[in-house]
Structure 1
């Protein structure tokens, strides 16, 4: 699972060199590719979670390099998870409705049509159907990533057209792509690995908040300094919601990064918790952001129609969580086992085996429709839920909002992402736990100040 002279290649990155290296780079927080899709019209949810689990267990998971080059010292590789075989939860559901046997996904295959959860599935699962159709107009959701995706606008148009969403283009003022300095013409070098990440982020914003404007800010590299400057640029351009799908190992520099890049009152900043299973990372550990864990999302016979558990594929693949070694505990976190900042705050779907449909024509994972997972999916989903809930007050820290109304969240109480000495750091339970935080969205109430 390692490539010579590169960091560990799951969704979580690793800083190269000493912990204090200020320019250490961060990796995508995790794309996982499987294969499944939301129809334009929601369908009944009849297939059992047990049946889905049995099929997904057949999938072969491996680490797949997304960038294809050895990074220079101080920069993380750009890698992603890929589920190379088996079936997905959506495929099981559709096959059960038709009384047929689900087709097995071939290794490295892309599909002519989506095979992952799409907008109506995600909106239904998180109680957002009404809000998604009526809220978000006038809000700007920023996506921060590294390097350029030259096909971002065209791929976004394909995704939105397929699902019947309104056009979001440069021409109509809905979509804008800029560099970390705000330039629309002098953009970073194109990178096929990060292009898949960018497509995932843009598509998840579209799925949850189709009426919102989208601002893509591309950092010139995957260093913390450049990604942090991109966050600042997003805020300076007016975004009140900023999603970050990258992360790296913690270091003593993190508190200075906090003040330089993430202390933006009145802005909801979401960050992926990571994809290497149990363990804390940064910037998910920043006390100023909403850290977002990941779940396995399956249909069920409950009144909700869905069920969730902690995402864990293996001992080295699953949602991140843990107690920060450096960041102070925010006043609104009241768990007693961790004296510093605890990861995560909330969560959403991230398991590639129950993943989301993404259209990408430039990424190294294959062009066309793929199904992605990882906390790279859950972070933009939560940023978009914040946007549906409305603009935060200018002096607020939106990471606090879910702690004020925990009843408006789906409490995830099963599963774990590893082994830990303090149980709730890695194991789901009633109430707060590290892997899923306070739970997943149940409408927008928990994301309103």
Structure 2
């Protein structure tokens, strides 16, 4: 198969051997699957149309920084390119105030957030195609502005669920998340829970967020000073969404998932070998112990805890080596590109919760107490680093970065990823700090339809 950027990829996991490349761990790897579309994700997780759940009647708010002038036109163009559902009249709204943006003193330029905005909107709309989408762009990526954006949704009760694909670390040098600021964030999330609004946060892409992980992890904060769960994902009043590596079979059905953790190897010795093998940690899901006491909903259900709130709560596909497809305009040209991270998992799971609201007939609000009380064995995939039905030995893929890769700068077109190797986090049977309770099965939405979302 060939992806939309001309790169070689597999139609499903393991489908196309990467012949002509060196072996890794004594075997020939296969090309990574082509970037996943919302249609594939809906089918894998039973979302979108299963049980008639399309998110109808719900509003999913997305809080990011700034805002691209090309939305929602990009989202509609993306939907057409992937044979999916474009927005209906008035289905997309946004609250963006460019005149008030803080640019010179902010932590990132507005253009750098365009990919994140496209990712969040494409995934939220893709997995809940009939939900209303409200995009709220903060005036910068600083706490005060992000808090104002979050408050805009919560104070006005403008959405049923809020997806947030950004994260910070509590322990850093220099530090900025003071106890007073953390208390202010938690008070806002408590307000959301009291008003029946579910708040979802990406768990991060740097494993245990330790200094060792930050040495090579591409989405790590180099200012980290210790092992820690990201914030606000670690707040006891939000649902933390971790990442997985999803494999589909040749029929497009769910095959297995592993933890989201990639070790990278490159071609060495005149392209005659991969090195190093094992590779260098480059990308993973976030999780671990937070600074907060263990909340009531995790007691007795999260073992091995030291009395702290642990993350993530749930997980969904987000691997950078097996990315999802998004569409965005860059430098005046519309592109389809693969993006990964728990930034993809968070809006996707928030959308599934919108589907669950439609199936149950009422708002779910703060979801964690219900999630931890559900029958985990039937409603969540119990994910491990080495899935039993994935075959023996290390899981590897060769990813073709595409013909536009500039080898003259030292960048390689072909990369080898060893999967299921997050940094400091491990997916084991039961709850774990790599994938939480796991990912929703195809029976997840069916349970809400049968029970109205009420435990017997």
| TM-score (normalizing by structure 1) | 0.69
Q: Out of 195, 201, 222, which is 2:120 matched to?
A: 201
Paired position in structure 2 for 1:275: 205
In the aligned structure 2, how far is the partner of 1:54 from the partner of 1:434? 38
* Alpha-carbon offset, residue 137 of structure 1: 1.2
> Are 1:356 and 2:324 matched, yes or no?
yes
| 8 Å Cα contact 2:16/2:31 also seen in 1 | no
Residues 160/367 of structure 1: CA separation in 2 closer, same or farther (3 Å cut): closer
| Residue 73 (structure 2) pairs with residue 154 (structure 1) | yes
- Give, in angstroms, the shift of residue 429 of structure 1: 0.8
Unmatched runs of 5 consecutive residues or more in structure 1:
1-34, 38-43, 59-85, 92-115, 420-425
- 1:348 match: secondary structure: strand
Identify the match of residue 259 of structure 1 among 179, 182, 187. 187
By how many angstroms is 1:295 displaced?
A: 0.8
Give the C-alpha shift of residue 54 in structure 1.
12
Give the number of the structure whose alpha-carbon radius of gyration is greater.
2
**Counterparts of 1:57 and 1:286 in 2: how far apart (Å)?**
44
The answer to whether the 8 Å contact 2:294/2:309 transfers is: yes
* Secondary structure of 2:130 counterpart: coil
Q: Provide the C-alpha distance between the structure 1 equivalents of 2:337 and 2:364, rounded to a whole number of angstroms.
A: 40
**Equivalents in 2 of 1:305, 1:52: separation in Å?**
23
Root-mean-square deviation (CA), in Å?
3.4
> CA distance change for structure 1 residues 55 and 412 in 2, over 3 Å: closer, same or farther?
farther
User: Does structure 1 retain, via aligned residues, the 8 Å contact 2:203–2:287?
Assistant: yes
Query: Structure 1 CA distance, aligned partners of 2:313 and 2:256?
Result: 19
Match of 1:332 in 2: 297
8 Å contact from structure 1 (residues 273, 344) kept in 2: yes
Task: Using the TM superposition, give the Cα deviation of residue 377 of structure 1 relative to its aligned residue in structure 2, in angstroms.
Answer: 0.2
- Which consecutive unaligned segments of at least 5 residues does structure 2 have? 5-9, 104-108, 171-176, 210-228, 264-280, 386-419
Q: Deviations over 1:290-324 (max 9, x none)?
A: 10111111224799532110111243521111100
Match of 1:214 among 133, 154, 163: 133
The one of 344, 358, 382 aligned to 1:377: 344
Structure 1 counterpart SS, 2:33: helix
Whether the aligned pair in 2 keeps the contact of 1:192 and 1:363 (CA below 8 Å) is: no
**Match of residue 311 from structure 1:** 260
3-state DSSP of counterpart to 1:150: coil
Q: Is the 8 A contact 1:270 1:292 kept in 2?
A: yes
- Give 1:90 shift: 2.4
Of residues 310, 330, 337, the one that matches 1:342 is: 310
Could you report, residue by residue, the CA deviation over 1:223-253 in whole angstroms, capped at 9, with x for unpaired residues? 1221122112123252011000000112434
